[in-house]
Amino acid sequence: MKKIKKAIIPAAGLGTRFLPATKAMPKEMLPIVDRPTIEYIVEEAIESGIEEIIIVTGKGKRAIEDHFDRNFELEDNLMKKGNFELLDKINQSSKVEIHYIRQKEPKGLGHAIWCARKFIGDEPFAVLLGDDIVQAEKPCLKQLIEQYEETELSIVGVQKVSDEETQRYGIIAPSVMKGRRYQVDTFVEKPALGTAPSNLAIMGRYILTPEIFDFLDKLETGTGNEIQLTDAIQKLNEVQVVFAYDFEGKRYDVGEKLGFVKTTIDMALKDEEIKDELMRYLIQKLEKNKLEIANFKSLY
Ligand code: UTP
């Protein structure tokens, strides 16, 4: 069996939901407390046993490369000050080899993955999207890799979403279920409201066999005028089983504003340095706004 050693992190999207913040800064570099979102993703890959990562970047994404590069001046400064804790923090990603490839135009997630085909070659591989951060006892990607080791077939991470949310995701039509693993009849990208075949949404973690590139090669643009990964997965599933796995853990949607703010609050409440003061602030704020809260509650 071929081991999963390589991962693709696509990061060439325009990040329009965070404009104007993302006009000159990649959305993957927006910080959750004190770490850019992409660092959480790289950390999950490392903890799942990934040895090499390729980040698909695009125009205006130089800050990502700089972030994962060594900064000798800063290291020297921290060393002289004896700040070894920070020194360790800024060099976390040196535990993995990171490569970069440019997607010249943001033609969609499917196209971004296709851009990394030469790096992947003829091996199964992982894909992690920066829009989803998962906090779990066992890293989400590791859960999927263990499923791959049982099946040696492609597998996508899914979780349940509400009826209203299904139109924002790739949705599966599940058939046979074994534990948390599903066989899938069809994969549909962003179904129109009320037409989703289930509430199981694809959540930005994938293990794919290299055969996916045969379909990405031929794919035309789909929903949103983009080359969709979900469409290629649907085609692959017609000739080679693609499973879905309802992974364990709390998923944070950092790809949109409200999700990003909620994630920041949750992560800050786990940060030893600031959690008590933040909790005090939140309680104070709630107490001050008791009347507003009562009005809000009466509305819903
Ligand atoms: P999204 O659609 O969530 O990201 O794509 P976006 O396009 O950057 O964000 P909005 O919708 O404009 O706010 C999911 C992932 O796929 C990458 C994105 O960087 C993101 O990590 N992506 C998307 C690419 O790498 N290339 C593309 O052409 C499109």
Tens of pLDDT, residues 32-57: 999 999 999 999 999 999 999 999 99
Full 3-state SS string of 46-74: HHCCCCEEEEEECCCCHHHHHHHCCCHHH
Candidate of 38, 113, 131 to mutate for ligand 1, largest count of ligand atoms within 8 Å of Cβ: 131
DSSP state of 86: H
- pLDDT above 90: residue 192: yes
Q: Give the whole-angstrom CA distance, residue 59 versus residue 13.
A: 9
Q: Which of 8, 9, 14 to mutate to test the pocket of ligand 1 (most atoms within 8 A of CB)?
A: 14
Judged by average pLDDT, the poorest of 9-13, 181-185, 226-230, 273-277 is 226-230
Cα of 226 to ligand 1 centre, how many Å?
10
Write the CB contacts of 18 (distance below 8 Å, at least 6 apart in sequence): 27, 30, 257, 260
Q: What is the pLDDT of residue 232?
A: 94
Residue nearest to atom 21 of ligand 1 (CA): 11
Within 6 A (CB) of ligand 1 lie 10-17, 27, 56, 103, 106-109, 111-112, 129-131, 255
* Cβ neighbours, 10 Å, residue 39: 20
Label residue 277 left, alpha or beta by phi (over 0 means left) and psi (-120 to 50 means alpha): alpha
Atom of ligand 1 nearest to the CA of 108: 28
pLDDT tens profile 193-239: 999 999 999 999 999 999 999 999 887 777 777 788 999 999 999 99
Residue 79 or residue 99, greater confidence: 99
Give, for 97, the enclosing helix (H) or strand (E).
Answer: strand 97-102
- Local structure of residue 236 (DSSP, 8 states): H
Segment 108-123 shows an average pLDDT of: 95
pLDDT digits (tens, 9 = 90+) for 152-180: 999 999 999 999 999 999 999 999 888 89
The residue-averaged pLDDT of 183-197 equals: 93
- Residue 237 C-alpha to ligand 1 middle, in angstroms? 23
- What is the reported pTM? 0.92
How many angstroms does the Cα of residue 158 sit away from the middle of ligand 1?
A: 18
Q: Which segments within 120-224 are labelled E, that is strand? A: 125-128, 132-135, 154-160, 170-178, 181-189, 200-208
Distances (CA, A) of 266 to 21, 54, 204, 216, 278: 22, 29, 20, 37, 11
- How buried is 249 (Cβ within 10 angstroms: 0-12 exposed, 13-18 middle, 19+ buried)? middle
69-83, 124-138, 159-173: the lowest-pLDDT one: 69-83
How far, in Å, CA of 25 to CA of 138, rounded? 31
Q: Give the Cβ contact number of residue 162 at 10 Å.
A: 8
Which pLDDT score, from 0 to 100, does residue 225 have? 77
Q: Percentage of the chain surpassing pLDDT 70?
A: 99
Q: pLDDT band at residue 69, thresholds of 50, 70 and 90? A: confident
Q: What is the predicted pLDDT for the residue at 93?
A: 67
Q: CA separation (Å) from 13 to 27, 43, 154, 198, 208?
A: 9, 21, 24, 27, 21
What H or E segment, with its residue span, contains residue 260?
helix 257-268
Confidence label for 146 from pLDDT (cuts 50, 70 and 90): very high
| Ligand 1 site-directed mutation target among 53, 64, 109, most atoms within 8 Å of CB | 109
**How do beta strands 31-32 and 35-36 pair?**
antiparallel
Can you tell me the mean pLDDT for 269-288?
A: 93
Is residue 253 classed as helix, strand or coil in its secondary structure?
strand
- pLDDT tens digits for range 82-108: 888 878 877 776 778 899 999 999 999
Index of the ligand 1 atom closest to the CA of residue 56? 25
CB 205, CB 134: distance < 8 Å: yes
Centroid of ligand 1 to alpha carbon of 162 (angstroms): 22
Interval between CA 298 and ligand 1 midpoint (Å): 38
Q: What is the Cα–Cα distance from 113 to 125, expressed in whole angstroms?
A: 11
Nearest to 169 by CA among 128, 146, 197: 197
